[in-house]
Structure 1
Amino acid sequence: MINTLTSLRLFFALMVFGAHCYVVDSTFSTHFYKEGFVGVSFFFILSGFIIAYNYQQKLVERKVSKRQFWVARIARIYPLHIATLLGVAVIGNLLNPMGWGEGLKHFIPALFLLHPFVPRMDYFFYFDSPSWSLGCEQLFYFLFPFLALLFAKKQKLIGALLVCAVVVPVLMSMTDEANIRGYWYVNPLARFPDFLVGMLLYRVYEWCRSKKLSFFTASLLEVGAVCIFLLFYMISADLVPKVYRYSCYYWMPISLVLLIFSLQKGFLSRILSNKYLVIGGDISYSFYLIHLWILFAYVQLAQTYDWHISLYISIPLIFAVTIGLSLLSYYYFEKPANRWVKRILNKQ
């Protein structure tokens, strides 16, 4: 377990949270907050890194079967996904008797995480909208056991990424503005290179972790990685079209942050190893899936009861409620459900 990377999950989940706070107040419609969608790219690259870290060698050496891997991933993502999907459908009355046909047309693809393959907003954002990213992860997980063998030699993986580095920006440049979100932001095939970047990053980590780094040098590298990421983040709106910022623009700065912090040798790594930040990273999946619920619920209540509450109170309150529910979800639903699904599926 790499504690620093677990803790970083919390910070990037907060960026996604900030990107969605515009539903509460237009103050959050500025670039500083809205660019928080980069958190999704972070999670995809991190996923490639961590899955390779945990399973690459085990699959190559046949210490873990494809079935065992897939069962573990299903147990990880599906219980909470199904719970939140049903919650949204019921609370939002999206499966009301007057519109069963229309509701089911969107519900079935969302249930099986196929909705992001349909490049239409009324599909990929119809129910619990953050779940589109789980559809991407599902594709990555399905393919990974084959990729682990195919890219057992890193040269093939490097070659595949070089092709992606050329082809992806070219195709992006040919996509009209109206379609970039459906084709390049939520499309699992378009986000697949992000996962490959993470897989290659693991190979770089394998080489780097045996190198000696002093505490001072490692601390400088950590600060430098953060500064480079922030530089990319802050200048992006004026210099880079949004279609590139959806993925390939951030490959380098995110990879740099992940690589440097995965070594866990500097001052910032010590801070990130704090147990409470690690717990924050553990609950980030719950936080990610339910935060938009809470934001929309607050907006609905504010409109219904004509609330006029300062942002300095409302946003911390929404955040605190989301954290509280995420903790409950993680300890009393996710972990027990994970064990239960593994036990059931491994008996088959």
Structure 2
Amino acid sequence: MDTYNKSFTFDRSKDWSKPITSVRFLAAVYIIAFHWIRLMPIRELSGFGFRFAAALGGVGFFYFLSGFVLAWVYLRPSQPIDKRRFFVARFARVYPVFLLTLVADLPWFFASHVATLGYQAALAKTGSTFAASLLLLQAWYSGFWGMDTPNWSLSAEAFFYVLFPFLGVWIWSLRSKWTWVSIFLVYIGGQTLVVLVLAAAIAHHASSLGLESLLYLPPLHVSTFILGILMARLQVSSIERYGTGPLAPWAIYSALGAGLAICFGVAHFTSDKFDNSMQGSILLRDGSMAPLFCVIVWALSSGSTVVSRLLSVKWLVFLGNCSFGLYLIHLPILHVLGPAMQPLLWGRSHSEFWLFYILLFLLYLALCIPVSIASFYWVETPARRWISVRFNARRSESLEAGFPVGASAESKIVQGLKA
């Protein structure tokens, strides 16, 4: 029997947001570990970096979460988005800490190019890269990469933000059955686009740098962002139609376990040659894992389980709040500490190498986390407040949703959410 009740309403600030927020922190740590593996000397793990990244599809998981939470926060039936306030909120959330970390990495970027380009050419390269990054163009052209490289994802996010007020409102008008159809078509269409662009690049004998640019090109990631919006639409439709009663825990555990097992299975069982080739990296990391993101996020946001309760502890949710800064600041810190840490690993036995390698990583992480907390309190939050007041944006909009996904105690509309 159809249990739909037209008068049914629900509170979007339910505790489901806390596990999602904590996952943001865990995903940021995952990215930090990836960069540590790629940039620090690892004899035993040569080539493992791309396999490690493939387990969660690179930053694709962040894009999915971004679409999911932005949709949950902003979209309502038959209601357009106030575009001015939306864009001010996005700028206030993303740009201040992005600018801080960009400036922090600027000296390293300049110094790293002096030896190969000379002083004047390195200065010109640094200036052009910095200017392009300020305009969030770094994901569109390989010549703009390199300065605090994780921020390339913000270039793609800016592209998604431009689409969201138009595309999101249209998606929110879909009926449930068309949402399912759209999920299928968006995924197939997105992956078809990736394959066609990759095939065209190979046919035209693109250089390795040209192929690498396909890992970052925003249009090749937009399907993952859209799938996040569609998944949020399904979740809201289900709650509105059937109520908020908890699902059977076995179904949630099964979905979560299967999603994680497939993610890590893909990374483990694909060949080294495929994982470490540029073609393999593109196929694995440009949205192919998005259906698994759907399963994982659905499981985490669908009911109270042991996993969701563990992920809802206050300290972990708090770190989720601070993880946007963690995501951006960790590489400038590694650029400073790496040269001092590397000599500590040279000439050691196998057991000593691993002991020092793990200890150094934990020390590095232990430094990054307090810096991100300080950034959250002294840069991100004050800057968002100032920009919100200056541009007359509603406080709830400027404080809740930011990339990749997180939470804000100050947002009463969606307690604990930042896209």
1:147 pairs with 2:178: no
Q: Provide structure 2 residue ranges, at least 5 long, that are not aligned to the other structure.
A: 1-12, 346-352, 394-419
- Kept in 2: contact 1:161–1:196 (CA 8 A): no
CA contact (8 A) 2:140 2:217 kept: yes
Give the Cα separation in 1 of the matches to 2:260 and 2:293.
9
In the aligned structure 2, how far is the partner of 1:266 from the partner of 1:226?
16
- The structure with the larger Rg is 2
Further displaced range: 73-82 or 293-302: 293-302
More helix by share: 1
Tell me the distance in 2 between the aligned counterparts of 1:248 and 1:92: 30
Cα separation, partners in 2 of 1:132 and 1:7, compared to 1, 3 Å: same
User: 1-side partners of 2:154 and 2:25: how far apart?
Assistant: 17
1:1-348, aligned counterparts within 5 Å?
1=13, 2-22=17-37, 23-26=39-42, 27-29=44-46, 30=48, 32-35=51-54, 38-57=57-76, 60-62=78-80, 64-90=81-107, 92-93=109-110, 98-99=120-121, 100-118=123-141, 120=142, 122-125=143-146, 127-154=147-174, 155=178, 157-158=182-183, 159-176=185-202, 178=208, 179-183=210-214, 185-209=215-239, 210=243, 212-237=246-271, 241-302=280-341, 306-308=343-345, 310-346=356-392
Find the aligned partners of 1:216 and 1:190 in 2 and give their Cα distance.
35
Letter aligned with residue 48 of structure 1:
G
Normalised by the length of structure 2, the TM-score is 0.74
Greater CA drift, 226-235 or 278-287: 226-235
Per-residue CA distance 1:288-341 (angstroms, 9 max, x = gap): 1011122222222236xx434811321110010011111111122111111112
Q: How far does the alpha carbon of each residue in 1:6-25 deviate from its partner, in whole angstroms, 9 at most, with x for none?
A: 11111211221121113123
2:238 and 2:300 map into 1 onto residues whose CA distance is: 12
TM-score, structure 1 length as denominator?
Answer: 0.87
CA offsets 1:231-266 (integer angstroms, 9 cap, x no match): 233224467722210123211112211111111332
The letter for the 2-side match of 1:166 is T
Q: What is the root-mean-square deviation in Å for CA atoms of aligned residues?
A: 2.6
Letter in 2 for 1:15: Y
- Deviation string, structure 1 residues 190-220 (Cα, Å, up to 9, x no partner): 1111111111111222244446512344334
The separation in 2 between residues aligned to 1:160 and 1:138, in whole angstroms, is 20
Count of matched residue positions in the alignment of Structure 1 and Structure 2: 339
Unpaired runs of at least 5, structure 1? none
How many angstroms does 1:149 deviate by? 2.9
Question: Aligned partners of 1:246, 1:259: CA distance in 2, in Å?
Answer: 21
Structure 1 pair 325–85 and aligned structure 2 pair: CA distance change class (3 A): same
